[in-house]
Structure 1
Amino acid sequence: MQHIGIIGVGEIGGAVVDGLSDGVEDPPRVHLSPRGARAAAELSGRYANVEVCAGNQEVVDRSDLVILAVRRPDVHDALAGLRVDDGTVVVSVVAGVAVADLRAILGTGAPVVRAIPLPPVRERRCVTVTYPSHPVVDAFFGRLGEALPAADEAAFNVMSALTGTLTTHYAFLGTLATWAAGHGIAPDEAERYVRGLFQAAGRSLGDETRSLQRLAADHETPNGLNERVRTTWFDPGNAEALTKVLDAVLGDLG
């Protein structure tokens, strides 16, 4: 695919552009919608292979693969009246909108695939869940890290629900840094240490020979600090509350 279109140039759209373009010897042509005008203009100014189109239809007409990256409430407005040729591959990164609904909105026989790219596509090291599996789409996200096709749309929605925990993780780290600052540590030093602590922990996730439960056990000593925090704060009630929130999110996505 040498012509990629993106309708909706927000955080994910911009990250995809960076991943396709930054430091790439022969990048594809990328056609951006004027939606998110400031971000689109900045990207086209940064990369010679990127251009801003006059409208969404021009994006579709110029592209072999089109990424829909608008917010869920804006889907109908963004796609209304678009003519999509059956030879174009459509990739939706819109959470909570099923393949059948997208196909009905577009009124096309073109392949429609859902995907969950995350900001690490910028560094070309993101595991992107897709559904249904499509060779062109899976190869596309392979360029940006790795494609992980879901078995069915229900499984895809479960993976989508998991992404709703990302900012909670950042807020958790922020709470740790704020606690340390409240005990006399300079705020910038507290944040630097928390970042370094969890960046180091995150690298251990690359060891796929150990389950997540095994990693937790390997980082604990009996009656140690880690075990104390885990068993007193992240207790069964806490875990149950998290499970209930995820179930509610999944219900909204389904």
Structure 2
Amino acid sequence: MVRPSKNSRGGRVSIGFIGVGDLASKVIKGLLREDSDVTIYLSPRGETASRALAEHPQCIRLESNQQVIDRADMIVLAVRPEQLRDIMRDTTFPKGKKIVSLIAGIELGTLKLLLDSEAVYRLMLTSAAEINQSMIAIFPPDPAIEARFAALGNTLVFDSENDFELSTVGVCMNGWLYFLLHAMHSWFTERGMGEAQAKKLLIHCLKDISAYAEQHSLPFNQIGESIATPGTHTDAGLQMLNRHHSHAAWSAACEVVYNRLTNHTAQQ
């Protein structure tokens, strides 16, 4: 079940990042865009990115992961799953300090066991966190976590860990859509449309779909059917897509990612 989150961020807080890779960097930039009261402590992992971010007056790069853990009010784990156990050998997390995991595929129970903490939460976002337009999946619910990260976009708070894993598939889908857009962009430009105009067209089409779907309670397929009525150009194109089983390919891709996530969890 998805529950609405609170929007108030509360007072000044410091957040420590263990791991400063691509997604973590985007999250940090988004936080800095919207919150002048936050202090970001950066671990030495991801040296190039952490040094670049440390140029910002609200970011402080520390010499070790343990220093980040000790000084920050809240910890964000942003490392690869296979790196987590190495970090655990060299660090200790204080009891009660909130820990937010950006690590895909490691379930909450395993994280609590490894970190020896009950104050653990899972978070998943898209690259749009950098511009404060991300989908933000949170599990389990916690008002402080919800409020702190709400500035990054639109929060979806899950009561079910399985739903949270499914939301991670949705995050991957965002990445696939860029390749679909690239294919469509190429089709338009190969037939004479300018590159900038083709990009604007596709972006406006996406905004059109999102806005219209959000205003209607109908299922997506029924909205589509109301547009692709028999004999229309839209219907002709849809028939070709169905002939090539294009929708089945998307479902198969989702299944591959979901299986990877759940199988990885089982292996921990």
TM-score (norm 2): 0.83
1:185-224 correspondence to structure 2 within 5 Å: 191-204=195-208, 205-207=210-212, 208-210=214-216, 211-213=219-221, 215-217=223-225, 220=228, 222-224=230-232
Distance 1:79 1:161 in 2: 27
Please report the RMSD computed on the Cα atoms of aligned residues, expressed in angstroms: 2.2
Distance 1:156 1:232, change over 3 A: same
Contact map agreement 1:65 1:90 (CA 8 A) in 2: yes
**Given residue 132 of structure 2, which amino acid in structure 1 is its aligned partner?**
R
2:167 corresponds to which residue? 159
Distance (Å, rounded) in 2 between the aligned partners of 1:185 and 1:88: 54
Pairing 1:21–2:36 present:
no
State the secondary structure of the residue aligned to 1:94. coil
* Uncovered stretches (5+) of structure 1, i.e. residues with no partner: none
Q: Residues 76 and 193 of structure 1: is their aligned pair in 2 closer, same or farther, counting only changes over 3 Å?
A: farther
Task: Tell me which amino acid in the other structure corresponds to 2:30.
Answer: G
Partner of 1:72: 81
Matched letter for residue 200 of structure 1: H
For residue 31 of structure 1, what is the amino acid of its counterpart? Y
Correspondence list, 1:1-254, <5 A:
2-22=13-33, 24=35, 26-45=36-55, 47-109=56-118, 111-183=119-191, 191-204=195-208, 205-207=210-212, 208-210=214-216, 211-213=219-221, 215-217=223-225, 220=228, 222-235=230-243, 237-254=245-262
SS of aligned partner of 1:174: helix
Per-residue deviation, 1:195: 1.9
- How many Å separate the matches in 2 of 1:77 and 1:53? 18
Task: Give percent identity, aligned residues only.
Answer: 23
1:79/1:201 Cα in 2 relative to 1: closer, same or farther (>3 Å)? farther
Contact kept, 8 Å, 2:41 with 2:72, in 1: the verdict is yes
| Cα distance, 1:196–1:215 mapped onto 2, change above 3 Å | farther
Deviation at 1:162, TM superposition (A): 1.8
> Would the alpha carbon gap of residues 143 and 23 (structure 1) be closer, same or farther in structure 2, given more than 3 Å must change?
closer
Extract unaligned runs of 5+ from structure 2: 1-11, 263-268
Taking structure 1 as the reference length, the TM-score comes to 0.87
Q: Report if the CA contact (8 A) 2:129-2:152 is conserved.
A: yes
